[in-house]
Structure 1
Amino acid sequence: MDGKAPVDLVLVEFSGNRFDGRILTELERLAADGTITVLDALLVSRGADGSIAWLEASGVDKRLAALVGEPADLLGAEDAEAVADELQPDTAIGMLLFEHSWAGTLAQSVRDAGGHLLDWERVPAAAIDELTGTAG
């Protein structure tokens, strides 16, 4: 992480605490292509009995641990506590922090050309759908 590319935090909710490898396969592909760099990951779950547990990437899955690499300690107990109250029983939230690696190379090209990035904003897909009339 060089601080030159945007970083996103994505939260994904899983009812029934059900996971499969499709998400990890796509993350591995994006990382291998140089599109993203996974910085940290955390899983927060509420059992059917209401108990809360959270795991860092290394405790969730070997493949996820390999994507994150050396623990960055960017996500932790405070982040788990922030989402735990919102969880319904038998539900989990996966938290993923990743850098847009592709944007770092674009930003460097802009700097190399003497340009200065003035702003970079995320426009939600729903807003584009609304503007183009494809909202469904």
Structure 2
Amino acid sequence: MTESLDEIGPIDYLVLEFPGNQFRGDVFPRLLDLVDGGLIRIIDLLFVRKEADGEVTMLTISDLDGDGELDLAVFEGASTGLIGEDDLDDVGGVIEPGSSAAVLIYENLWAVPFAAAVRASGGQLVSNGRIPLHEFLESLDETEADA
């Protein structure tokens, strides 16, 4: 990643849990759509499993859904080394025993022109966050009930 600061969008991460190690590969074609559409760039993609005893281990890219096809070969090598051992411990703290997770770090390419304009005008991002979907829906329901 040798771009100048003006050419880099916001960087986010996701931890996607698959309880009971029940993984279906239909999520990854949607991820590829985001990449192919120029909306995101994958910086790191890592898979982990939390054993029943709480031990967290990294998984290799493989046939996760057992259909005989290498589902994630296109993601092989999507690693900058940004995810460290302490991050694995953090992931282990948020997923349930007997589950697997995908850890994804990605750049929001759709936001590059906006981020560049903010920087060019002397602005800077000082805070960001996400509103969980259930909280958003609850808020809408409360607003509707009050109307």
Pairwise CA RMSD of aligned residues?
A: 3.0
Is 1:76–2:76 an aligned residue pair?
no
**Which among 44, 65, 68 is matched to residue 48 of structure 2?**
44
State the Cα distance separating 1:76 from its structure 2 match: 2.8
Question: Once the two structures are superposed, what CA deviation does each residue of 1:14-63 show, in whole Å capped at 9, x if it has no partner?
Answer: 111121211111110000000000110122212345543213xxx22465
Count residues with an aligned counterpart. 130
Structure 1 position 88 matched with structure 2 position 89: no
Q: Following the alignment from structure 1 to structure 2, what is the Cα–Cα distance between the partners of residues 86 and 117?
A: 34
Matched with 2:31 is 27
Q: 2:121 aligns with which of 111, 115, 118?
A: 115
Structure 1: stretches of 5+ with no match in the other structure? none
TM-score when normalising by structure 2: 0.68
Equivalent residue in structure 2 for 1:124, among 97, 115, 131? 131
Q: Distance in 1 between matches of 2:36 and 2:56?
A: 33
10, 17, 34: which one pairs with 1:6? 10
Question: Which runs of 5 or more residues in structure 2 are unaligned?
Answer: 63-69
Q: TM-score, normalised by structure 1?
A: 0.73
Structure with larger Rg: 2
